Structure 1
Amino acid sequence: MSYKVLITGGAGFIGSNLCEYFLSKGNSVICLDNFATGHHHNIKEFINHTNFKLIEGDITNLDDCKNAVIGVDYVLHQAALGSVPRSITNPIDTNNVNISGFLNMLVASRDAKVKRFIYAASSSTYGDSHALPKVEEIIGKPLSPYAITKYVNELYAEIFSKTYGIETIGLRYFNVFGRKQDPNGAYAAVIPKFVKQLINNESPIINGDGNYSRDFTYIDNVIQMNELAIETKNTEAINTIYNTAFGERTTLNDMVHYLQEYLSEYDDKISLIKVIYGDTRNGDIPHSLASIDKAKKLLNYNPKYSFKDGLKESINWYWENLK
Structure 2
Amino acid sequence: MIETKILVTGGAGFIGSHLVDKLMEEGHDIRVLDDLSAGTLDNLKHWANHERFEFIRGDMRNPEVVAEAVKGVETVFHLAANPEVRIGSQSPELLYKTNILITYNLLNAMRGSNVRYLIFTSSSTVYGEAKIIPTPEDYGPLEPISVYGGAKLAAEALISGYAHTFGFKALIFRLANIVGKRSNHGVIYDFINKLRQRPDELEILGDGTQKKSYLHVSDTISGMLTLFEYFKNTNKTVDFYNLGNDDWITVREIAEIVTEEMGLNPELRFTGGVDGGRGWKGDVKFMRLNIEKAKKTGWRPKLSSYGAVRKSVRGLLLTM
Q: Give TM-score scaled by structure 2 length.
A: 0.91
Give the structure 1 partner of residue 136 of structure 2. 135
What are the residue-to-residue correspondences of 1:29-44 with 2, within 5 Å?
29-44=30-45
CA–CA distance in structure 2, aligned partners of residues 170 and 204 of structure 1: 36
Q: Unmatched 5+ residue regions in structure 2?
A: 275-279
Give the structure 2 partner of residue 87 of structure 1. 88
Give the structure 2 partner of residue 204 of structure 1. 202
CA–CA distance in structure 2, aligned partners of residues 69 and 202 of structure 1: 50
- Cα distance 1:204–1:106, how it changes in 2: closer, same or farther (>3 A)? farther
CA–CA distance in structure 2, aligned partners of residues 90 and 202 of structure 1: 33
Question: Is residue 2:60 matched to residue 1:59?
Answer: yes
Query: Which portions of structure 1, spanning 4 or more consecutive aligned residues, are displaced by more than 4 angstroms?
Result: none
CA contact (8 A) 1:116 1:230 kept: no
Q: Unmatched 5+ residue regions in structure 1?
A: 183-187
- 1:149 aligned residue (148, 151, 154): 151
Give the structure 2 partner of residue 257 of structure 1. 256
Q: Deviations over 1:76-110 (max 9, x none)?
A: 10001122221210101111221111011122223
CA–CA distance in structure 2, aligned partners of residues 43 and 57 of structure 1: 16
**Residue aligned with 1:179, SS:** coil
CA–CA distance in structure 2, aligned partners of residues 166 and 19 of structure 1: 22
CA–CA distance in structure 2, aligned partners of residues 231 and 309 of structure 1: 27
Give the structure 2 partner of residue 111 of structure 1. 112
CA contact (8 A) 2:257 2:310 kept: no
CA–CA distance in structure 2, aligned partners of residues 202 and 83 of structure 1: 27
CA contact (8 A) 2:214 2:309 kept: no
Give the structure 2 partner of residue 231 of structure 1. 229
CA–CA distance in structure 1, aligned partners of residues 148 and 312 of structure 2: 26
CA contact (8 A) 1:248 1:290 kept: no
Residue identity in the other structure for 1:170 = I
**Residue aligned with 2:286, SS:** coil
Residue identity in the other structure for 1:49 = H
After TM superposition, give the deviation of residue 169 of structure 1 in Å.
Answer: 0.5
Residue identity in the other structure for 1:62 = P
Give the structure 2 partner of residue 306 of structure 1. 304
CA–CA distance in structure 1, aligned partners of residues 206 and 235 of structure 2: 41
**Residue aligned with 1:204, SS:** strand
After TM superposition, give the deviation of residue 130 of structure 1 in Å.
Answer: 2.6
Q: Give TM-score scaled by structure 1 length.
A: 0.90
How many residue pairs get matched?
A: 310
Residue identity in the other structure for 1:197 = K
Residue identity in the other structure for 1:273 = P
CA–CA distance in structure 1, aligned partners of residues 179 and 235 of structure 2: 29
**Residue aligned with 2:31, SS:** strand
After TM superposition, give the deviation of residue 202 of structure 1 in Å.
Answer: 5.5
**Residue aligned with 1:112, SS:** coil
**Residue aligned with 1:275, SS:** strand
